[in-house]
């Protein structure tokens, strides 16, 4: 950040949500890509074939444009991020959407751009009403493609962000993946949007491009003018208009400290996650795709503590077969050798629907037929995955766990299916690890309460704190009105974690945490004190957690946990955690 001098104008601060870390200062460029009102007029019946031809040409042109963008992204930041545009391709190839447009055209006899915009916007509105934040964000994909198709139909071109030829901080109501792909990386310093969330494609691509980003700034794009002097703080989700000299001095110092800390974390790669008094904690990484493995290695993780396999299934025209899955799992397992990898079986159903299965819509998908329930209800899909995982286990470092287990019967049924698969592989003469460790995720309060019984049936516990908190406190963390109730330090959550850990140790098995709590260094001493044996954090955050572990002493952590378990409010417990963290590693905190 080149600070320069502070502004003589009054400083104004806008609070949003930081989704990509970093600090930037520069002049504002405001991007408002709204189209003028789409023309609407009646067409004669004899002109309908010409309208259909125009529509088909626009769809083909749009598809070509999306493929060009996808290739550009793949060259710039990798094929993994380019796959974001698969959803856009699905829109222009969606026969349900296209057929509805053609039926509406025949029925209403209006110009095709007007008809297409109406139908596509109706589809987007349906997604926008979904409970799941991921599906709500996908309505942006439809809006992006709709805008592109309509522009192609009326012969207009979108504003070219790539043509902005001076250093700037981009502000916009929202940014689509197409917008983000066109950013001139030579000049864009950071960006902020009125809308958005951590799960948005915009946030994903900001992190891939290593651009500081803040979303959820409400109406900031309408309140600030182009050329305004701003500072954007992606760590704390802050946009500062006309930063004062004092603010600039504070941020210069913050940036120096952050750079120094990040440089020091690189040196931790080959060191162990062991406390100052010799207690070793297994520190693993969460991944979604094989492309994440280099980050696992770069961070010095002891393998993979959570491989989310459902991402291998989504946005596919067909289900992956056994050979595809086997090759995938074996590749990832071989790349992390000699460290272990824990493969989570499918957490599909509910909010993560497979399009070609035509699953019924559920009013409350998070309490519906998902995860282990889905797998036991679709045994053919489940067995295909289990066989692939078993075959990959021949490498010797593969473990497996079932998600969203609510009781003993589900574990026994799932293990029964697993034994069927083992018998089939033996009969076929296929190699696998007979002793592969099988565990479960503790995400449901009923599983935590039944932990002693479950511990006698499984090889390990992995606590998924995201869902455990949501289900235990009955709070939807994406609902802005009650999001403040989503508190990891709630006394009930700590008691459940302690209960699970104690049950695991009594049965001679280990218990880990793979939810967001594992990545939060403020909570590291608390989890250590509660007796957790393993933490599986986001791959990029592993070095920070390792540094926190190495700075701590177990007596201090146990004393913190004992005090926290006697404390009756989440806020007071959080303050206790922050006091320990600031005493031992203040430079890792904001």
In a domain, 251, yes or no: no
286 found inside a domain = yes
Same domain, 537 and 391: yes
For tokens 């954090």, name the residue. Answer: 537
Bigger pLDDT: 319 or 364?
319
The residue with greater pLDDT, 360 or 469, is 469
The per-residue pLDDT for 393 is: 98
pLDDT of residue 39: 80
- Where does a domain end: 214, 244, 274? 244
Residues 372 and 445 in one domain: yes
Which pLDDT tens digit goes with each residue over 307-348?
988 777 765 557 889 999 999 999 999 999 999 999 999 987
Which CATH number is 214's domain given?
Answer: 3.50.30.10
Q: Residue 368 pLDDT more than 80? A: no
Same domain, 451 and 508: yes
- Which residues participate in catalysis according to the annotation? 201, 514
The CATH number of the domain holding residue 424 is: 3.20.20.60
Residue 276 has pLDDT above 50, yes or no: yes
Domain boundary among 127, 154, 181: 154
Q: Whose CA is closest to 344, among 435, 463, 195, 502?
A: 463
Residue 248: half-sphere exposure toward Cβ, Cα within 13 Å: 18
Do residues 526 and 494 make contact, with C-beta atoms less than 8 angstroms apart? yes
Residue whose C-alpha is closest to residue 369's, from 351, 382, 354, 345: 351
The two counts, helices (H) then strands (E), for the chain are: 23, 16
Residues 19 and 124 reside in one and the same domain: no
Q: Which residues pair with 239 in a beta bridge?
A: 14, 232
Is 257 within a domain? no
- Contacts for 297-300: CB closer than 8 Å, 24+ residues apart: 297/335, 297/336, 298/269, 299/269, 299/539, 299/540, 299/541, 299/542, 299/543, 299/546, 300/268, 300/269, 300/270, 300/271, 300/542, 300/543, 300/546
Chain segment 173-197, per-residue pLDDT in tens: 887 655 766 677 788 999 999 887 6
484 and 578 inside one domain: yes
Question: What is the average pLDDT score of the chain?
Answer: 85
Structural contact between residues 84 and 78, judged by C-beta atoms closer than 8 angstroms: no
Q: Which of 70-84, 371-385, 495-509 has the highest mean pLDDT?
A: 495-509
Last residue of a domain, one of 154, 172, 199: 154
* Rounded average pLDDT over 446-465: 97
Which residue in 507, 485, 512, 500 sits closest to 569, CA to CA? 485
| Predicted pLDDT of residue 147 | 79
Residues 277 and 168 in one domain: no
In a domain, 1, yes or no: no
pTM of the model: 0.68
Domain span at 149:
45-154
Instruction: Work out the average pLDDT over 221-243.
Output: 91
Residue 465 located in a structural domain: yes
**Range from 20-29, 361-370, 416-425 that averages highest in pLDDT:** 416-425
CA–CA distance, 127 with 329 (Å, rounded to integer): 32
The answer on 444 and 306 residing in a single domain is: yes
Same domain, 318 and 420: yes
Query: Looking at the 3D structure of the chain, how many domains does it have?
Result: 3
Distances (CA, A) of 305 to 4, 262, 504: 45, 23, 17
Q: How far is CA 16 from the centre of its chain?
A: 18
The H or E element that residue 86 is part of is helix 86-92
Q: Give a yes or no: residue 254 inside a domain.
A: no
Pairing of strands 12-15, 238-241: antiparallel
Pair 215, 278 in one domain: no
In this structure, the strands spanning 238-241 and 438-442 are: unpaired
User: 222 and 292: one domain?
Assistant: no
Of residues 33 and 150, the one with the higher pLDDT is: 150
314 shares a domain with 190: no
Q: Is the pLDDT of residue 414 over 70?
A: yes
Any domain includes 535: yes
* Contact indicator for 141, 108 with CB cutoff of 8 Å: no
Residue 298 above 60 pLDDT? yes
Measured CA to CA in angstroms, residue 166 lies from 24, 184, 527 at distances of 14, 9, 47
Q: Are 484 and 411 contained in the same domain?
A: yes
The answer to whether position 427 is within a domain reads: yes
CATH assignment at residue 97:
1.10.274.10
């Amino acid at each position: 950040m080149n600070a320069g001098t502070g502004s003589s104008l009054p400083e104004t601060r806008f609070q949003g949500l930081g989704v990509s870390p970093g600090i930037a200062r520069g002049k504002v460029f405001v991007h408002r890509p709204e189209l003028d009102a789409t023309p609407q007029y009646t067409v004669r019946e004899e002109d309908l074939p010409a309208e259909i031809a125009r529509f088909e040409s626009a769809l083909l042109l749009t598809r070509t444009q999306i493929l060009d963008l996808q290739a550009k992204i793949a060259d710039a930041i990798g094929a993994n991020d380019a796959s974001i545009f698969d959803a856009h391709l699905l829109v222009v190839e969606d026969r349900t959407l296209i057929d509805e447009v053609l039926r509406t055209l025949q029925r209403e006899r209006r110009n095709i751009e007007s008809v297409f915009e109406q139908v596509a916007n109706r589809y987007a509105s349906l997604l926008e009403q979904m409970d799941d934040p991921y599906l709500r964000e996908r309505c942006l994909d439809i809006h992006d493609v709709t805008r592109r198709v309509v522009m192609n139909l009326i012969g207009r071109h979108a504003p070219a962000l790539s043509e902005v030829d001076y250093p700037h901080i981009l502000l916009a109501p929202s940014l689509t993946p197409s917008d983000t792909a066109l950013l001139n990386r030579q000049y864009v310093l950071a960006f902020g949007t009125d809308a958005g969330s951590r799960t948005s494609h915009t946030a994903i691509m900001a992190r891939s491009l290593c651009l500081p980003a803040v979303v959820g700034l409400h109406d900031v794009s309408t309140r600030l003018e182009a050329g305004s002097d701003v500072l954007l703080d992606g760590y704390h989700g802050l946009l500062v208009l006309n930063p004062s000299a004092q603010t600039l001095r504070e941020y210069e110092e913050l940036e120096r400290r952050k750079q120094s800390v990040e440089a020091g974390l690189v040196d931790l790669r080959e060191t162990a996650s062991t406390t100052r008094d010799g207690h070793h904690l297994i520190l693993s990484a969460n991944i979604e795709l094989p492309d994440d493995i280099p980050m696992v290695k770069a961070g010095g993780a002891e393998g993979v503590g959570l491989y989310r396999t459902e991402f291998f299934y989504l946005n596919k025209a067909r289900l992956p077969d056994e050979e595809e899955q086997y090759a995938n799992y074996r590749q990832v397992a071989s790349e992390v050798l000699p460290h272990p990898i824990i493969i989570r079986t499918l957490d599909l159903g509910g909010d993560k629907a497979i399009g070609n299965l035509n699953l019924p819509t559920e009013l409350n998908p998070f309490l519906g037929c998902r995860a282990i329930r889905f797998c036991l209800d679709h045994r053919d899909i489940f067995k295909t995955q289990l066989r692939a995982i078993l075959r990959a286990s021949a490498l010797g470092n593969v473990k497996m766990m079932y998600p969203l287990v609510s009781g003993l019967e589900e574990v026994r049924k799932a293990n029964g299916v697993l034994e069927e698969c083992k018998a089939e592989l033996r009969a076929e003469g296929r190699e696998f690890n007979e002793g592969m460790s099988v565990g479960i995720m503790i995400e449901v309060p009923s599983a935590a309460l039944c932990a002693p019984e479950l511990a006698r049936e499984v090889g390990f516990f992995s606590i998924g704190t995201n869902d455990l908190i949501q289900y235990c406190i009955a709070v939807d963390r994406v609902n802005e009105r009650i999001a403040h109730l989503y508190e990891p330090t709630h006394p009930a959550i700590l008691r459940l974690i302690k209960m699970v850990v104690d049950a695991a140790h009594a049965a001679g098995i280990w218990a880990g945490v793979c939810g967001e709590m594992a990545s939060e260094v403020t909570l590291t001493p608390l989890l250590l004190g509660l007796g957790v044996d393993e933490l599986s954090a986001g791959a990029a955050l592993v070095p920070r957690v390792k540094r926190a572990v190495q700075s701590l002493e177990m007596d201090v952590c146990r004393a913190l946990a004992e005090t926290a378990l006697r404390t009756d409010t989440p806020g007071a417990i959080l303050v206790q955690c922050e006091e320990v963290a600031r005493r031992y590693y203040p430079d890792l905190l904001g």
